[in-house]
Structure 1
Amino acid sequence: MTSLPRLAVFDVDGTLIDSQHNIVAAMGLAFRAQGLEEMTATAVRRIIGLSLVEAVARLRPDLPSSRHEAIAQSYKDAFFTLRSRPDHTEPLFPGAAEALALLEADNWLLGIATGKSRRGLLSMIERHGLQGRFVTLQTADGNPGKPHPAMVLQAMSEAGVEAENTVMIGDTSFDMQMARAARARAAGVVWGYHPPGDLLEAGAETMIEDFKGLPVALNALLERR
């Protein structure tokens, strides 16, 4: 095993946490607030991971950019309202916290690359007691959205890790495309919001069945040069 530093960069929605019910609900509220028909849950799941305005634009490419921005703002308002409710929940997927701890114990550096806002990301980290665990936090607030490689490139720069020793872990084709564009390694997970076949087509080098197997799978991937 290489003695060089290794970096595991995680997507959030659909990879670390199960948030699709809140995203679908918030998008429905946003479209209704703008006097538009709601999109189907299937359509919304397909755009999870993109930056917000880009996600809205893919859902309704027939609308002008000004409407995309208005819907995005309504989404932010709706999501803030949902997050404030006492019954709000976005659970970690089973085994996620344990896998992060195992990677840390194995001297992996951990990072995040997400389409969430920084405020939303920090709220998630605090809610699940993950403060101090990640050495780099990349969001859509300060970077081009996925699949642009900027978030992974910035994560590698901040962590001081080369692309060949960096793995992007995600559940969407956007994550895999971003990893490959940054020349990092790409690991897909089967429990998220895009079908495994889409991830493999987008460049996933391995598919991870559950968090229990993630540490071994990442080490095995870096051993494949």
Structure 2
Amino acid sequence: MSYANATVSPAERAKAAASVIGIHALIGFGLVAGLAVTTAIVDKDDGVEGVLIPIDPPPPPPTPEPVPTDAVVPSTPPAAPMPPIEIPSNNPVQVTEPDFTLPPITTRVPVDPPVRAPVVAESPPPPPPAFTPAAPVPRNNMSSWITANDYSGRDLRRGNEGTARYRLVIGSDGRVDACEITSSTGHSSLDRSTCSLIERRARFNPATNNRGEEVVGTYTGVVTWQIPE
């Protein structure tokens, strides 16, 4: 809304119009510069007492509309995975894993040791003999021990005959140490003659033990007394 004097000349009106245009330009600059200009005052010397120009304040910024809670917000699709980057290698390193298997873990339950019977130590067996024991063996002719010429005149007259079995003890020197009649001829004279003649005439290779040593041994034999025809 504006007020003007009716007695103003056309030249002054043109001047006033130019002043109004300048005021409008100034107001526009104030809006751009962020200034709020509500009143413009023109010098009275120009023939204009005053101009009151109402300027509306700038409209407030628009209020964003509230988003309903049940509205579906479109989700951003996930980005595609980046392809693996292959790094070329002129000398690839091959790593061989050792073939190693862990042993199974077992839980051991304590067990009482078994009760064992006492072991009785046995004596070792004797070593095998280095030599085989041997009995005494006659060294001279057995037929020379007793002959028909050894009959006594008494036994011849009485016709004494018979078979005597004897047992001899041979010393380690091969001689007869003892004579024993184990089966009699039935005549004591013939039995005594048997042992007496053998002890005097018989010779032996003595017996030996398992170590090859000459030891005392025994020998058995038979003599038959018979009167020649």
The normalised TM-score by structure 1 is 0.24
Give the number of the structure with larger relative contact order, counting CA–CA contacts within 8 Å between residues 6 or more apart. Answer: 1
Q: Which has the higher helix share?
A: 1
